[in-house]
C-alpha cells in the first residue's frame, strides 16, 4: 500500500506504459468552462449532422462529477494504432484504425486492469473507465493533461508521436497533481485543410462533422448525398487524409499491439474482391472489427457509392 500522494502519478503512469499505452496525462476533474460555449455553438450549427447522441447529456460532457461521484482527476491515455502495413493499391480504402480488432474491446481490457492495479496499489479508489462509451470530451481532457495540442484538423497531435492514436480516460476520486497543457505547434501549416476532399475542415480548429468522409461512411444511416460523388477519395470506411498529410505524423511509429494486426486476408484484397464480397466473407474478415459498426449493408452501400 502506497501512502505518499507524490508517488501516485508515477505509479499510475508506469503501469499505463507497461500495459501498452504510449502516453498518460493527468488533469483536475473540473467543469470544462471554455469548451461549453464551443460545444453549444457546434451543436447549434448542426455540425454533428445525424449524430443525435452528440446533443445528449450536454451537462455530463462538461462536468466529470456527473459521471463519477466526487471526481478529482481525469487520467487521459493514448494508445498508438499507426501501422506501416498497407492495403492493396487498387482497393477501396479503410482507415488504419480499423485494420485490426475493435479498439473499444482492446482499450477496455487495458483500462480495467489499470483501475484494478490502482485499487490494489493505492487503496480504495472509486472510478470509471471511458472509451467512446459515455459523454466524455476526450480531446479536451487530453489537451488539459498535456498529451498534445488540438490540431487544425481537430485531432490531438503529440509532438513526439503525431496523431495516430486512440484516446481513453479513467475518471477517479483520487487527487493527483495535474499536468500542464503543451503549446500549439501547427504554426502556419494548412496541409490538413487543403487536403480534405470534402472541405469538412471549415476553418482552422473547426470541423463540420456532417461533411466528413468518416461521417458519411460510418455514422450516416441514410444514403450518402449525391453531391459527394467523386469526392470520397475512394474511402469506404473512415478517412485518414487529414492525418496522412500532417507533417507531425512523420514521427509516427509502428504500434506493438498484437490485437490491432489485420486479418491475414484483408491487405491482399483487390478492388474486385471488395466489390464481390458477400456477407459470409464480411463476417469472417471483420469478426471482431470496428467495421461491424456499419454492418455488411452499410459497407456495401459505401462500396456501391464509390463505383
For 106-137, b where at least 16 C-beta lie within 10 A, e where not — what string? bbbebbeebbebbeeebeebebbbbbeeebbb
What sign results for the dihedral spanned by CA atoms 294, 260, 248, 134? Answer: positive
Q: CB of 179 within 8 A of CB of 145? A: yes
8 vs 15, 16, 114, 205, CA distance in Å? Answer: 11, 12, 13, 34
Catalytic residue among 14, 120, 132, 234: 132
Measured distance CA(220)–CA(226) in Å, rounded: 13
Place of cell 506501416: 84
Q: CB of 126 within 8 A of CB of 57? A: no
* Residue 188 CB partners (closer than 8 Å, separation 6+): none
Active site residue 45: no
**Which cell goes with 129?**
473507465
Measured distance CA(223)–CA(302) in Å, rounded: 9
Bridge partners (DSSP) listed for residue 281: none
**Which cell goes with 131?**
472509451
What is the set of active-site residues? 132
Amino acid at each position: 500500500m502506497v501512502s505518499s500522494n507524490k508517488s501516485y502519478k508515477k505509479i499510475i503512469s508506469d503501469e499505463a506504459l507497461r500495459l501498452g499505452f504510449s502516453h498518460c496525462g493527468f488533469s483536475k476533474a473540473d467543469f470544462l468552462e471554455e469548451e461549453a460555449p464551443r460545444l453549444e455553438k457546434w451543436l447549434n450549427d448542426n455540425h454533428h449532422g445525424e449524430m443525435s447522441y452528440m446533443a445528449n447529456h450536454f451537462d455530463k460532457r462538461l462536468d466529470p462529477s456527473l459521471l463519477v461521484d466526487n471526481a478529482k482527476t481525469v487520467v487521459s491515455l493514448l494508445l498508438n494504432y499507426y501501422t506501416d502495413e498497407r492495403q492493396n493499391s487498387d482497393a477501396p480504402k479503410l482507415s488504419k484504425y480499423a485494420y485490426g480488432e475493435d479498439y473499444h474491446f482492446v482499450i477496455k481490457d487495458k483500462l480495467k486492469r489499470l483501475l484494478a492495479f490502482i485499487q490494489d496499489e493505492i487503496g480504495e479508489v472509486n472510478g470509471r473507465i471511458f472509451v467512446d462509451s459515455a459523454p466524455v470530451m476526450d480531446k479536451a481532457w487530453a489537451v488539459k493533461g498535456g498529451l498534445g495540442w488540438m490540431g487544425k484538423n481537430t485531432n490531438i497531435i503529440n509532438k513526439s508521436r503525431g496523431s495516430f492514436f486512440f484516446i481513453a480516460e479513467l475518471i477517479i476520486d483520487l487527487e493527483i497533481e495535474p499536468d500542464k497543457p503543451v503549446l500549439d505547434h501547427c504554426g502556419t501549416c494548412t496541409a490538413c485543410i487543403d487536403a480534405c476532399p470534402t472541405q469538412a475542415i471549415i476553418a482552422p480548429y473547426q470541423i463540420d462533422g456532417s461533411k466528413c468522409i468518416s461521417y458519411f461512411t460510418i455514422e450516416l444511416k441514410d444514403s450518402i448525398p449525391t453531391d459527394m460523388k467523386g469526392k470520397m477519395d475512394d474511402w469506404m470506411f473512415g478517412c485518414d487524409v487529414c492525418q496522412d498529410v500532417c507533417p507531425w505524423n512523420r514521427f509516427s511509429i509502428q504500434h506493438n499491439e498484437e490485437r490491432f494486426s489485420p486479418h491475414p486476408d484483408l491487405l491482399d484484397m483487390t478492388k474486385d474482391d471488395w466489390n464481390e464480397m458477400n456477407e459470409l466473407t464480411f463476417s469472417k474478415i471483420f469478426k471482431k472489427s470496428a467495421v461491424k459498426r456499419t454492418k455488411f449493408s452499410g459497407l456495401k452501400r459505401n462500396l456501391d457509392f464509390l463505383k
